[in-house]
Amino acid sequence: MSGSSDAPILGIETSCDETAAAVCSASRILSNIVLSQVPLHKPFWGTVPEVAARAHLRWLLPVVERALKEAEVGVADLAAVAATHKPGLIGALLVGLTAAKTLALCIKKPLIAVDHLLAHIHAAFMATDATPPCIALLVSGGHTCLYRVESLLEAVLLGRTIDDAAGEAFDKVARMLNLSYPGGPAIEKAAEGKRPTIRFPRSLLGENSLDFSFSGLKTAVLYYVKGQNGRGRSEPLEADVGEIAASFQEAVVDVLVEKSLRALRATGIRRLVVVGGVAANRRLRQALACAAAERRFELFIPPPHLCTDNAAMVAALAHHLLKAGRAAPLSVDAQPN
Ligand code: KG4
Ligand code: ZN
């Protein structure tokens, strides 16, 4: 099998708190294993970098073995070995990248170093009918960015958050509301069937800005829950937790939709892809679908399991990097930022 243009590629993803490995033949997923570290980080309400790196070290090889076994692919069949090399937590990245380098060296196959953000965008190209050029809204725990995507391998940054990422805001507000970690799914669940009764601020940063800011919204929720001094309120809350969650979610969704519309208008592009963990949010998906129908643009969102961190997007993007002759030297570095 090796040598053919669709020979399988092993992808490894360890940039944050999922230990993931997958085998793809071009965009076809042969296996996609994601071991979530959420139970380890839950007590801390966030990812603890050293805990993440140590867990990757413990679990990566069993996860890789399982990905190869499920795909029914032996290492000798692989066309290349790919791993995320940026951006992410440095200790976490180093585990996956070093494993990929070692395997590539042993089996004498090319190493492909993959940009996590381009891989998230690629999830839309592998799982939907989207093609470049398009606008990509990437909304995750670490990133909130808008890109003009020129090709499968190139994206130009149009705007990004100047403070918190959208997913981070979900995680922090979930903590304020005593829900659970990760905050996105917890807030979505608490908001189900609830009305967004509280008008929290939507920060749009000026008329034409494509940047984002969520820290004001986060502080507004804090003041609402804890009172103006942040220490507690004398009077009881008028809204219940579900209504606060729904109101916060609605404010984030409004901003994400408005900024996406601005990017489409500014570039004249009529195609939007939405990726990253927050793209799993059903209220966001629904609001974007309404906007797409009203404003007549094409909308593509991968299924939720390809929105959150996974290695299938890494292996699938690696296929195009390999085809373009963009294998990495074994000296390639992990880059946290
Ligand atoms: O892309 P991802 O898995 O990892 C990063 O690269 O950050 O995104 C994780 C983020 C977390 O902040 C999580 O709370 C958020 O995505 N998230 C959601 C939902 N599912 C995950 N946010 C809103 N609604 C969801 N259903
Ligand atoms: Zn991610």
Q: How far is the CA of 149 from the centre of ligand 2 (A)?
A: 17
Q: Which amino acid is at 43?
A: P
**Atom nearest to 174 CA in ligand 1:** 14
Distances from the Cα of 214 to the Cα of 49, 207, 221, 224, 248, angstroms: 23, 17, 11, 15, 11
* 112, β-bridge pairs: 82
**Atom nearest to 143 CA in ligand 1:** 7
Please tell me the pTM assigned to this model.
0.94
- Closest residue to atom 2 of ligand 1, CA basis: 277
Q: What is the pLDDT of residue 332?
A: 97
pLDDT, tens digit, for every residue of 108-142?
A: 999 999 999 999 999 999 999 999 999 999 999 99
**Backbone φ and ψ of 125, nearest 5°:** -75, -30
Q: Which DSSP string do the residues of 249-279 spell out, in sequence order?
A: HHHHHHHHHHHHHHHHHHHT--EEEEESGGG
Q: How far is the CA of 270 from the centre of ligand 1 (A)?
A: 26
The verdict on the CB of residue 121 being under 6 Å from ligand 1 is no
pLDDT, tens digit, for every residue of 301-335?
A: 999 999 999 999 999 999 999 999 999 999 999 99
Neighbours of ion ligand 2 (CB under 5 A): 140, 309
Q: What is the pLDDT of residue 227?
A: 78
Question: Which segments in the chain show pLDDT lower than 50?
Answer: 1-3
**Atom nearest to 167 CA in ligand 1:** 12
The number of residues in the chain equals: 337
Q: How far is the CA of 35 from the centre of ligand 2 (A)?
A: 14
Q: How far apart are CA 28 and CA 116, in angstroms?
A: 19
- Closest residue to atom 16 of ligand 1, CA basis: 277
Q: What is the pLDDT of residue 3?
A: 46
The verdict on the CB of residue 242 being under 6 Å from ligand 1 is no
- Closest residue to atom 8 of ligand 1, CA basis: 277
**Atom nearest to 17 CA in ligand 1:** 4
Q: How far is the CA of 275 from the centre of ligand 2 (A)?
A: 9
Q: How far is the CA of 197 from the centre of ligand 2 (A)?
A: 31
Q: How far apart are CA 168 and CA 46, in angstroms?
A: 9
- Closest residue to atom 3 of ligand 1, CA basis: 308
Q: How far is CA 135 from the centre of its chain?
A: 16
